[in-house]
Amino acid sequence: MSDYKVKILEITNVTHDVRILKLEKPKGFSFTPGQAADVAINKPDYVEQKRPFTFTGLNDWDYLEFIIKIYNDHNGVTKEIGNLKAGDELIISDPWGSIQYKGEGIFIAGGAGVTPFIAIIRNLNSENKIGNNKLIFGNKMESDIILKDEFEKMLNKNFRNILSDEKVEGYANGFITEEFLKSFVDDFNKTFYICGPPSMMEALEKQLANLKVDASAIVKEEF
Ligand SMILES: Cc1cc2nc3c(=O)[nH]c(=O)nc-3n(C[C@H](O)[C@H](O)[C@H](O)COP(=O)(O)OP(=O)(O)OC[C@H]3O[C@@H](n4cnc5c(N)ncnc54)[C@H](O)[C@@H]3O)c2cc1C
């Protein structure tokens, strides 16, 4: 595995606790949409602290992009990423990861677990291959939804939000249930792509098994 030092070109806010980092792209660097890299901050106290983040841009962009949720409640790496500025450096590994597009299906994400699907759905959109792919995006509050407008544009009616901690008109409320899945998914003989925190993944895998989705039809990554 190689390591690459890359300069941060720009940092912008996408929600109250999520940042978009635009980075220099090493010459010849390429990844498959859905893949991540081990990332460290190039500062003495942080170079050894690697954390995985997903490439959310497209391979033909001339820069790399990460979309990173900042956890300010403890002194981890993301808190320090929240303090970085353009000109600071990250060290990134070669790409790796288990999420890859395997055909039309249903993407189900919780919070920052949507990042692998950002790259995949953007890539499908750029190739005019969105088809009947669907995205279910679970968040606590409406203000937590990452790239809502872009997903609405790309997926239209095939984008469904569910909020666990807030009742807002036009959004489903609560956690994802089998009933909720049945109300949105017309064909369970498709590939299911799931990515989110462990508790959500566990619940979803049980629900999908009850709905007769074969484990081999599930592509997953735990965040
Ligand atoms: C393949 C993969 C791809 C990913 N891609 C992305 C992505 O694109 N974007 C994104 O936002 N996230 C992504 N993640 C999740 C991301 O890696 C984590 O959010 C990140 O590693 C958190 O790092 P951290 O150092 O801030 O916190 P942690 O690693 O959780 O914690 C650092 C230290 O703090 C301790 N700690 C944890 N919680 C608390 C607490 N509440 N109070 C006190 N101490 C605590 C821990 O025990 C640990 O010692 C991905 C994860 C995986 C597996």
Last residue of a domain, one of 93, 117, 150: 93
Q: In this predicted model, what pLDDT tens digit does every residue of 199-211 receive, in sequence order?
A: 999 999 999 999 9
Q: What percent of the chain has pLDDT over 90?
A: 97
52 lines ligand 1 (CB under 6 A): yes
Residue 98 lies in a domain: no
Residues 211 and 112 in one domain: yes
Would you place residue 217 in the very low, low, confident or very high pLDDT band (cuts 50, 70, 90)?
A: very high
Which is the closest atom of ligand 1 to the Cα of 18? 11
Q: Six-digit token pair at 160?
A: 């469904």
Residues 88 and 112 in one domain: no
Residue 216 lies in a domain: yes
Indicate the pTM of the whole model: 0.94
- Mean pLDDT across the stretch 162-183? 96
Last residue of a domain, one of 34, 58, 93: 93
DSSP annotation of 29 reads -
* 165/55 Cα distance (integer angstroms): 28
Last residue of a domain, one of 35, 63, 93: 93
Q: In this predicted model, what pLDDT tens digit does every residue of 120-159 receive, in sequence order?
A: 999 999 999 999 999 999 999 999 999 999 999 999 999 9
Please state, in angstroms and as integers, the Cα–Cα distance from residue 118 to each residue in 60, 103, 145, 195, 212, following that order: 15, 16, 12, 12, 27
Residues 132 and 196 in one domain: yes
Residue 100 lies in a domain: no
Task: List the domain range (segments joined by +) for residue 28.
Answer: 3-93
pLDDT the model gives residue 67: 98
pLDDT the model gives residue 71: 97
Residues 42 and 138 in one domain: no
CATH number assigned to the domain comprising residue 210: 3.40.50.80
Residue among 32, 38, 51, 73 to mutate when testing ligand 1 (max atoms within 8 A of CB): 51
CATH number assigned to the domain comprising residue 67: 2.40.30.10
Closest C-alpha residue for ligand 1 atom 48: 76
Query: Which stretches of the chain are assigned E, i.e. beta strand?
Result: 3-15, 18-24, 36-41, 51-54, 63-69, 89-93, 105-110, 134-139, 159-163, 172-173, 191-196, 218-222
Residues 80 and 19 in one domain: yes
